[in-house]
Structure formats: structure tokens, C-alpha cells
A and B are shown apart, each in its own frame.
Chain A
Amino acid sequence: MSKALNLVIVGVGGQGTLLASRVLGSIAGQLGLDVKLSEVHGMSQRGGSVTTCVRMGETVHSPLVEQGGADFILAFEELEALRALPYLKKGGSVIVNTQQILPLPVIIGAEKYPEGILTRLRGECETIALDALPLATKAGNARAVNTVLLGRLAKSLPHEKALWHRALEETLPPRFLEANLKAFEAGYAL
């Protein structure tokens, strides 16, 4: 089961977590592995917390990554990274975009956005924090935050870069490809 890889991708509805999971699905396809993705459609996509799971390996039964099961958590937002932390396996890593998106209970002053999230994460596991938005914007598409994060993930995984490029080509509409390839490289270079 050494080829098995479990990822949890978390963020806020509308941030593009589904695209990231599909790129990973394509990676699994190219490696000839069994793969399952669990996606969120429906109500939570209206700005709620969203969790997408990606699992690949020889044989995958459940589409879900559960507590203590993730090799990586790819977080599009800090609070969501902290919320997802229990999914992480011992020795796993968190790749977190340092954006903070205030949830409504915080906006209206009913609750507080936690402080020191990165410190807390660093105390628990290998934490790779990056500010993906400016990198995505520089690459030509502010919505390519997901691809910057994937670029950083790719650096932590053994697969060849060509595999990732092909996965992006398979997954993205051609007109977005160029900016996303740049965004990927920006993440990879970190």
C-alpha cells in the first residue's frame, strides 16, 4: 500500500476545491491507481465550509478520508485548516494558504476568529504556509490559488512534474491553462 495517498482539501464554498481534487484524480489515472474522490455539491457551496477527499492506491473502497488518515491537508483558508487538522495522519503535512475569510458568526461579532492558527498548526505537524493569492494574481488569474497550492503539493510528492502538467491540461479549459501552469510553477518554486 506504499502508493496509497490520502488527501483532504478544505476551503470555503466557491474557492475552487473541486478543481484541485480533479487534478489529483488525473494524477492517479496516469499512475494506473484506483482512485475515489468525495465532493461537496449543494447547500455548503453557498459560502459554507467544504471538504473534499482524494484517495488513491491499489484498491480504494471508501471515498472518505477520516480522522488520522490524511497524508496531506490542502487548505485554502486558515480557519478551515485548523478545523481539518484532526484528519491528519501522524507525520502528515498541512499546506495552507494564509488567507483568512471571516465566517458570518465572526462578521456579526457573535464569535471570534481564532488567533495564532499557524503557530498551532506548526506545533502539531509540518506546516507549509504560503500566500497564494498574490502569486496567482501575478500568474495572470486570481482564481488560480488552487493551482499554486497544487504546485506546492507537487514539490512534496515524488511524481514527475510532467505528470502534473498533463493533469492540468486534462482538467482545465484551454483558455485558463497558461495562467494556471504559471501559477503551478510559482507554487512549485516555493
Chain B
Amino acid sequence: MKELLLGNEAIARGAWEAGATVSTAYPGTPSTEITEELAKFSEIYCEWSPNEKVALEVALGASMGGARAICCMKHVGVNVAADPLFTAAYTGVNGGLVLIAADDPGMHSSQNEQDSRFYARSAHVPMLEPSSSEECLLFTKKAFELSENYDSPVMLRLVTRIAHARSLVQPGQREETPLKPYEKNPRKYVMMPGFARGRHVAVEAREKRLLSEISALGLNKIEWNDPSLGVICSGSAYNYVKEALPAASVLKLGLVYPLDVELIKEFAQKVEKLVVVEELEPFFEEQIKALGLPVSGKEKTGLQGELFSRKLGQLFGAEAPAGPAETPNLPQRPPVLCPGCPHRAVFHVLRKMNFVVAADIGCYTLGALPPLNAVDSVVCMGASIGMAMGLEKARGRDFAQKTVSVIGDSTFVHSGITGLIDLVYNKGNSTVIIVDNSTTGMTGHQPNPTTGQDIHFRAAPQLSLERLCEAVGVQSVKVVDPFDLAALEGILKEETAKDGPSVVIARRPCALLSREKKPPLRVKAEACIRCGACLRIGCPAISMGQGGLSIDPALCVGCGLCAGLCPKSAIEGGTL
């Protein structure tokens, strides 16, 4: 029977059916559910790696060791894993190696909307792109086959609207793939110049072979219709094209790199007008133009965001249905720090102390939004410590005393450690705050090396942040409960005044995970002077209405942070 699966669930199912035995990943929206799903299969070893580079290296090692391995990450994760990726393209594989890259056009949960297809092209690895959950399953299996047939890692690109859409899938059986024999083969796996030159020849040769066999792969297909308009597309764009331009002839590319040049030429010849419909970059369009074919696309569709059927229809002259008019100036509803979130206390203190804050990526990024407004920069995972160091080197020692970096526990392990080593080694003076909520919160509470649990939430060796920071050479490492506002403020005052780098670990578990549930707080209306002090921490449970201040008992978790800020002790119940 068909099942209604998320694209991500279908990928996991495909890897299981293909006999994969190793799965590695670092979480990242919209890719996370693939690995969470894979972890349910007892035949597959699964891990959350500390970062994407390690994840890909473990998967490559597993492949070299003869297993079928899958490695999953979001688009920006591929930046982190790019170093092993480009050379894995040279070593090739033993067991099939599939790398899933989940792009996020429209930036639903990301800091940029880069287009992963360029990685496939510049690393010379084949890339598939599915349009439905069914294809997620089939293409994942196909990717393992291609990987072994062409001795190459194979990438599969997703976008949010495929990864996080559910559609019907016909699941199949698992086919066990026996472990391939391991043989020492330095010419293939020791990539020093002399051997790598030989492998570069192999890379080019396998790509040529793939191109010569491309039509037999059955990944690209032409759907003939009215020849007056021919559309080339893939992935999510295919769905929008079918919806918006039902009369058009369509060349759907399942293999987005390398391009099936012969098929594209044939299609171009038989249609009157040729267009490419693709989200983000003109990846197909520029390559097709380079073939000398008259084609257009981006001049209409643009480089940014998602496409959608309606917009596409309008661009091509279709009449778009209209709904009731949008209501102008509706208040936005951005994501917020949860009630009871320990990060809120940290940002409250940082804003009060007026620090320059180089922050990082995680739930605590939300400290940048009003009313906290406590953050100066957020770039990519791990960047905070290096950015603070750069600010100091540009503006001097005094500036370092006003500057802190803020980084989460998972992010610190992912790529903050090397920044901290730089801070110590190159004699920086700034203070690093590790906001340790004992989980990888933003992506849905995955365990990480600091939590003492593995991907299955079973006990695992626990990384001690304090001892790690000391070992790196930080002389002053302090641990504080962020809800102890006075202690936090005192420590920050001291540490930022000191010479040399300091680390302050603000430790309190994520409010969504903490087991202690306290009764909600209440406002003593007669005592409240409506000064708004409690509103400035941006807690979604507190609001000021016509009838005065109120605390929503359904949302309040009784953390008491607001009560501590009230000058009239007008908030009662709950204790710190």
C-alpha cells in the first residue's frame, strides 16, 4: 500500500531499501528528518557527527571500507564538508556513497539561499534532484547504484518544498548489499600530487562514460505536449510548471549534473520557444546558452526566493486567480525565544551592559530581534569567536573589553573550538559566552557531544566544555546559571575587564526539555505600576492589555525571570 511520506522520510526509506549500513549527518533544516528517520532502522549505524566535514569523512571511510553510506546536511553544511567532498570526487568509492544536500530557497530557516548544484559541477560528481517523495525514494536507490557504477560520490539535491512535502510513496523491500572487500589501494585513496593526478584523469573519464550512457539511466524525460513552448526544469520547479503551464512540453531533468546535452538539443529543436524554469541560480540556463541554443528564463523568473505556480503562470501570461486582498500592515509574527528559555536571561544582561555582541547560529540568534536587540552580528556557524577577535584586532584592546561572542553548545563543538584556539594563540582578549542549554535546540533537540547522549539518546561519553576550554589554554573559565542575573552580570564585568581570553559557560537546560514544571506566575494588579520592565525581555507569555499586565497561564512555565525584574514585586508565584 502507498504511504504518505515526507520527502525526507522517503530518502531514508530509499537508503534503507538500498542496503545502506552507515548514515552520518549534522542536523540542519530542511534535512534533519532524514537522519532522524534513518536512526529508526536497526540495520543502519547512525550518528550525529560534530559537524558536516566529519560526517562526510566518516561516510567516505565507510564507503572505502565497503559499505553503502549516506551523509545528510543542509546546503550551508556542504560548505563545511566541501573540503572532503572535492577530494572524495577523486578517490571515488568502494561501497556506494550518497551525499544529500538540502537547499532552502526562500530562506525559511537559513542564513542564505545558495544553490548546491554548483558543488556538483565544480567537484564533478553526479547530482540527482527529485520532484516528489516517490522520486526521493527511487532516486536515493538510483544514487547508490550510480555511485558504485561510476566510482564516484553522488549528490542528491533537495529543496524545502520537496523535503518537507508529503506525497504518496510505494515502499519496497530492503536488499541487503554485502560489504565489499577492502583492499589497500594507495593510488586511489592516498591523494598526494603524484596519485591525485592519476585520479583526476579517472574523474574526467568516468564523467565522459556517464555522459555516453546517460539516456539509459532513465532519469531525464520529455513529456511532449504543445510544441510552441518547451520548458526545461527539475525538482520543485517541475511541479510548478505542470501546475501553471499544463499545455507546455516539458523536459524534466532528474539528473541535474552532468547535463544530458543530446536530449536538451533534441528538445530544443522540436519546440518553438525554449525556456528554463529553475529556482535560484541560472544553472541550467547558462550551460544551455553555452551550447549555443536560444533559451531564456532568469530574465523572467529572477534569482531570489521560491517560484510558485501562480507567479509562474503570471510570468507566462496566464490569468492568475485572485483571492481577497491582503490586509496591509498586519503585525508580523516572527519566531521567538520560548517562555522560560535560558538564552533570554543572557541577552537581557548583555543589552543592559551594552556589549557589542558577535553572536552565532542557533535559537539564541533570536536575541537579535526586538525587544532584546542585543546582537551585532550573525554570519555562519562558529563565526562569532573569530568575528570578535577581528573586531578587537581592528579596534584595539579597549574595544575587546566591550565585546563578547555568544555561541551555543552544539555550535561551539561544530566549529567554535578552532576560533577559540585562535583567540588564545593569537593573544586575543575578548570574552566568549557559551550558552549551554544541553541540546541542539534550533533543529529540534538533537543530542550532541556535550549532552552525554548519542543519536538514540543512549549514554555516550560527555564532552566537558570547561575542561576543553582549559586545555585549549583559556586561563579563566567560569560556569554560571544565566537565571542568576546578578552572578552573570558580575562575572561578565570581571571577565571582560581581564587581560587575555575568558570563557563564561551560561548553563541551564532548554526550557522545552527541562522536567521541572513550575506553576505559572500571576500579576498583582494593585502593585503593578505598568513600567514595562518585564515586557523588555520579550517573553511571549507576558502582555500589556487594556486591563493592565497579564501573564498567560497556558504559556508561562514559571521561570521567574520577569518577577526578578519587577521593581514593585508585582509578579508572584514561582521562585528562581
Binding site for B on A (CB under 8 A): 12-13, 22, 25-26, 28-29, 34-49, 60-64, 66-70, 79-80, 82-83, 85-90, 102-114, 120, 124-125, 142
Can you list 18 contacts pairing A with B, beta carbon distance less than 8 Å?
Answer: A36-B132, A38-B161, A44-B108, A47-B336, A62-B309, A63-B239, A66-B309, A66-B310, A68-B310, A70-B323, A80-B333, A104-B540, A105-B333, A107-B535, A108-B538, A109-B535, A111-B332, A114-B327
| B128-145 near A? 1/0 per residue, CB < 8 Å | 000010000000000000
Which of B322, B331, B366 contacts A111 (CB under 8 A)? B331
Once the chains bind, are B323 and A67 in contact (CB under 8 Å)? yes
Who on chain B is nearest to A48 by CB? B335
The B237-260 residues at the A interface (CB cut-off 8 A) are 238-240, 242-243
Q: How long is the Cα–Cα vector from A45 to B321 in the complex, in angstroms?
A: 29
Once the chains bind, are B6 and A39 in contact (CB under 8 Å)? yes
User: Which A residues are CB-close (under 8 A) to B526?
Assistant: none
Once the chains bind, are A37 and B165 in contact (CB under 8 Å)? yes
User: Which A residues are CB-close (under 8 A) to B535?
Assistant: 107-109
Once the chains bind, are A112 and B239 in contact (CB under 8 Å)? no
Q: Give the 9 A-B residue pairs with the shortest CB-CB distance, closest first.
A: A68-B321, A42-B29, A42-B109, A63-B165, A48-B335, A46-B335, A103-B333, A111-B331, A68-B323
Whether B308 sits at the interface, judged by CB under 8 Å, is yes
Once the chains bind, are B327 and A82 in contact (CB under 8 Å)? yes
Other 8 A-B pairs with CB < 8 A, given A47-B333, A106-B543:
A34-B167, A36-B167, A43-B335, A62-B239, A67-B322, A69-B321, A103-B334, A105-B370
Q: How long is the Cα–Cα vector from A108 to B538 in the complex, in angstroms?
A: 7
Once the chains bind, are A62 and B240 in contact (CB under 8 Å)? yes
User: Which B residues are CB-close (under 8 A) to A112?
Assistant: 331
Once the chains bind, are A48 and B309 in contact (CB under 8 Å)? no
Whether B397 sits at the interface, judged by CB under 8 Å, is no
Once the chains bind, are B332 and A103 in contact (CB under 8 Å)? yes
Beyond A36-B166, A40-B108, A67-B321, is A25–B4 a contact (Cβ under 8 Å)?
yes
CB distance from A8 to the nearest CB of B (A): 10
Q: How long is the Cα–Cα vector from A41 to B443 in the complex, in angstroms?
A: 9
Once the chains bind, are B325 and A36 in contact (CB under 8 Å)? no
Q: How many residues of B contact A (CB 8 A)?
A: 58
Once the chains bind, are A87 and B323 in contact (CB under 8 Å)? yes
The B292-329 residues at the A interface (CB cut-off 8 A) are 308-310, 320-327
CB distance from A69 to the nearest CB of B (A): 6
Q: How long is the Cα–Cα vector from A89 to B442 in the complex, in angstroms?
A: 35
Q: How long is the Cα–Cα vector from A6 to B475 in the complex, in angstroms?
A: 61
Once the chains bind, are A86 and B324 in contact (CB under 8 Å)? yes
CB distance from B342 to the nearest CB of A (A): 14
User: Which A residues are CB-close (under 8 A) to B331?
Assistant: 79, 103, 105-106, 111-114
User: Which B residues are CB-close (under 8 A) to A66?
Assistant: 308-310
Beyond A42-B443, A107-B535, is A88–B335 a contact (Cβ under 8 Å)?
no
Once the chains bind, are A34 and B168 in contact (CB under 8 Å)? yes
User: Which B residues are CB-close (under 8 A) to A26?
Assistant: 4
Q: How long is the Cα–Cα vector from A79 to B329 in the complex, in angstroms?
A: 12
Q: How long is the Cα–Cα vector from A140 to B167 in the complex, in angstroms?
A: 32
CB distance from A39 to the nearest CB of B (A): 5
Beyond A36-B167, A41-B30, A64-B309, is A12–B324 a contact (Cβ under 8 Å)?
no
User: Which B residues are CB-close (under 8 A) to A70?
Assistant: 323
User: Which B residues are CB-close (under 8 A) to A142?
Assistant: 554
Whether B33 sits at the interface, judged by CB under 8 Å, is yes
Which of B161, B324, B544 contacts A109 (CB under 8 A)? B544
User: Which A residues are CB-close (under 8 A) to B543?
Assistant: 102, 106-107
CB distance from A156 to the nearest CB of B (A): 18
| B102-143 near A? 1/0 per residue, CB < 8 Å | 000000110000000000000000000000100000000000
Q: How long is the Cα–Cα vector from A129 to B83 in the complex, in angstroms?
A: 56
User: Which B residues are CB-close (under 8 A) to A82?
Assistant: 327, 330
Q: How long is the Cα–Cα vector from A82 to B168 in the complex, in angstroms?
A: 31
Q: How long is the Cα–Cα vector from A82 to B309 in the complex, in angstroms?
A: 23
| B1-39 near A? 1/0 per residue, CB < 8 Å | 010101000000000000000000000011011000000
User: Which B residues are CB-close (under 8 A) to A105?
Assistant: 331-334, 370
User: Which A residues are CB-close (under 8 A) to B417?
Assistant: none
CB distance from A181 to the nearest CB of B (A): 21
Beyond A35-B167, A36-B166, is A47–B335 a contact (Cβ under 8 Å)?
yes
Whether B181 sits at the interface, judged by CB under 8 Å, is no
Most buried by B among A39, A85, A114: A39
Beyond A42-B29, A61-B242, is A107–B323 a contact (Cβ under 8 Å)?
no
Most buried by A among B32, B332, B369, B544: B332
Q: How long is the Cα–Cα vector from A34 to B242 in the complex, in angstroms?
A: 15
Q: How long is the Cα–Cα vector from A66 to B320 in the complex, in angstroms?
A: 10
Whether B164 sits at the interface, judged by CB under 8 Å, is yes
Whether B363 sits at the interface, judged by CB under 8 Å, is yes
Whether B435 sits at the interface, judged by CB under 8 Å, is no
Once the chains bind, are A46 and B544 in contact (CB under 8 Å)? no
Who on chain A is nearest to B321 by CB? A68
Once the chains bind, are B335 and A45 in contact (CB under 8 Å)? yes
Who on chain A is nearest to B162 by CB? A63
User: Which A residues are CB-close (under 8 A) to B532?
Assistant: 109
Once the chains bind, are A39 and B310 in contact (CB under 8 Å)? no
User: Which B residues are CB-close (under 8 A) to A22?
Assistant: 4, 166
Which of A42, A60, A111 contacts B108 (CB under 8 A)? A42
Most buried by A among B161, B333, B334, B338: B333
Whether B542 sits at the interface, judged by CB under 8 Å, is yes
Whether B371 sits at the interface, judged by CB under 8 Å, is yes
Which of B165, B239, B324, B335 contacts A85 (CB under 8 A)? B324
User: Which A residues are CB-close (under 8 A) to B33?
Assistant: 41
Q: How long is the Cα–Cα vector from A102 to B369 in the complex, in angstroms?
A: 16
User: Which A residues are CB-close (under 8 A) to B32?
Assistant: 41
